[in-house]
Every structure is written in C-alpha cells, then in structure tokens.
Amino acid sequence: MAWKTLDDMDLAGKRVLTRVDINVPVEDGKVTDTTRIERIAATVQDILDRGGKPILLAHFGRPKGERNMDMSLQPLIPALEAVFGAPVVFAADCVGPAAATVVDALQDGQVALLENTRFHAGETKNDADLAAEMAKLGDVYCNDAFSAAHRAHASTEGLARLLPACAGRLMQAELSALESALGTPERPVLAVVGGAKVSTKLELLGNLVAKVDMLVIGGGMANTFLAAQGIDVGKSLCEHEMADTAREILTKAKDVGCEIILPVDVVVAREFKEGAANEVVANTACPADAMILDAGPEAVKAVHAAIEKAKTLIWNGPLGAFEIAPFDTATNAAAKFAAERSEAGKLISVAGGGDTVAALNKADAAVDFSYISTAGGAFLEWMEGKELPGVAALS
C-alpha cells in the first residue's frame, strides 16, 4: 500500500486533524442514524489511546460557502459523545481564532469538533490559503472519510499535502477491501451491477468488463441491454438511446472473455405499486402494456450459479424494484445467497452505494457480506478505475 496508516504515525502529544464523514440524518435537532459516527469511532479511540488529540473536520449538507446554521455540526455533539464515550468540545469555526482557542485548550481524553468546513467557499475550491489555515491547527493529518475522497477539497486533498498524512481505520478498511476486490482479487471475479440507468454507470461497466470474469446486469439497466438486442420491453424503464453503447459493452465483454449475465425471464406488471398483479414471462415475452420490474426465478438461478462459481463478488445496485414487494424477490434471494457463501468463507463480497446498502439491509444480508462500503460516489469512482484525489494525496 502506497499510503500510511495510523500505525505509521507517532501520535503522542500530537494534534491530529482528522477528516471524517458525519453527514448523518438529523430530525428535530437529533441524529436519527449513528452508523457513520460508529464507523469512525475506531479511529478516534485509537488516537486517544495513543496520546493524541483528535480534532474532527467534517462537512454537513451543502451550505455553498455560507454560514448556514441549519447545517451546523453542533447538534451532533450528543450523538458523538454517546458513541465515542468521550467529551466533545465544539469550535464555532474550522479555522481562525475560534478554532485555535478550542484546539489550544483541548485536554487529554477530549475530542474537538470544528464547525462545518463548507461554511467556507474555499473548501470545495481546494483553496490553498484555507488549507494552510487548517494546517496551523494540527501536527498530523488523518483522513478517515473515504466517502469524500473523490473530491479534491481543502480538507480532503489540500491539507493532506501540508502535514504528515495517513489513512484512518475506516479509510484503511475501505481501501483494503477494494484492493482485494479489484486490485489483486481471488478469481473468478463476479460483479453484480444494477440500478435504473446505463448512462449513469457507463464508465463503471466499461472498466468492469475488462477486470471481472462474470458480470450480472440487473434492474432498469438490464432492460436497455435487452432492448439493444432487439427485444421488446413494453413500457419498462429503458434508455433506448443507449442501445449502441450497450451493444459496444457486450462486444467488448465478448472480446475480453467476460461473461455477461442478463435475465432470461422477468417479472412484469401493469402498475408500479406494492402487491401489484404480476406474472413471470420469458425476457422476449413482455406484453406491450406491461413493464419489467424484477428478474424471474430462472434468472435468479443463473445469478446463484455465478455466485457459487465466484471467489470474489463486487455488488453495486439492485436487480429489480427492490423498494416494493414482490419486486424485491430477486435482489433478496441473490443477496441472501451471497451472504451465506461469504459467511461460510467461500466468497469475498464487497458492496457499496446507497441503494445497494439499503437493498442488502432490507434482505438482512448486509451483516454477512465481507465488507459494506458506506461511500457512494467514491465507491463508484474507484470501481470505474479513477484516481481519488483524497487517496492520492496520502501517498
């Protein structure tokens, strides 16, 4: 690994500027889901245990460079203290006298939380002066926000170049999991890619066919690939204008020996609602007035066979309209089977992306996957083969 971790740093008595992702849901001033806070707890605890002083840098929402108190980080303090088991001291700014006063007075065993970095317009512009002001507050820089690593911002990229820098425990886990899945994977490698549109995952598909042995395409994306082969998909969600692109991906996959797995049968309905009347038909037999909302049982068998053959699985996106029953059937079945194989030690499984995590949680499968990434855009860009500025800056 080209980047350092906390294990490589001397933290005793050091002020550790720690970039985290605590962009958590808040209702009526209270945090409703502490998952992202829990994921950074190991890093904070490690810094404290080794005599360092954690100083948290984070963004919250999109204040667009202005001080919008609806997006202040201060309401997160009770949730942070509950998870960390340590007192959290708040600074009303992330630079300048307000921040310096809090950092200078920080006691051993305390954690400092600096105000929303995006209250400064220079944050998203990766302003060198803002990064330099932040750097004055610390001795070491630790990035534990993989989910923001695809952005070249002052607190994710600029700051990393000004202080001794390392990856936090969550960042380290993310990078290790992704390296094992796409960098030097155990083969055969299977990718499951679903979701609504081919257009949003073009680069992903183009990169994956050259790197994986099998590729399952599901969701609305599968309809576009079926239509590109001259199959009538009725009123299904479909990007007909992407037909040429879909055919190019199929050709590229054939040239490099990547097996593309599309649904051989599908579940169709006339309306998109919970419990809608539906039927299973061959992928060539979608009625003109119906829409494809899930993969059928034979398609699920094919996915299971691919999972059984694979040693490594990368998953991004559902196989159908997983939000409503019964069109969550294929996603649930495949997710549970992948989880069973993972739990039995027969499969390394890495999944990421918002819809993906929601679908795997809904299927009660997430807990047994080898690794679930909380990152959205950064996870996708890594899968697309792109360099992430926040990671590159650590090397």
Take residue 207 and report the two structure tokens written for it: 């990169």
CA atoms within 13 A of residue 13's CA, in its CB half-sphere = 0
Take residue 49 and report the two structure tokens written for it: 């245990």
Catalytic residue among 197, 311, 336, 362: 197
Asked, as a colleague might, if the bond just before 78 is cis with ω within 30 of 0, I would say no
Contact yes or no for 92/120 (Cβ under 8 A): no
Location of structure tokens 């006691």? 107
Integer-rounded Cα Rg, in Å, for the chain is 23
Residue 389: name the closest of 160, 180, 65, 62 by CA. Answer: 160
Catalytic residue among 206, 234, 377, 385: 377
Contact yes or no for 353/347 (Cβ under 8 A): no
Catalytic residue among 15, 36, 118, 169: 36
Neighbours of 108 (CB within 10 A): 9
Element (H, E) at 354: helix 354-362
**Residue 187 annotated as catalytic:** no
Take residue 340 and report the two structure tokens written for it: 């069973």
Nearest-10 Cα torsion for 202, 382, 153, 13: 170
**Residue 377 annotated as catalytic:** yes
Q: Which residues are catalytic?
A: 36, 197, 354, 377
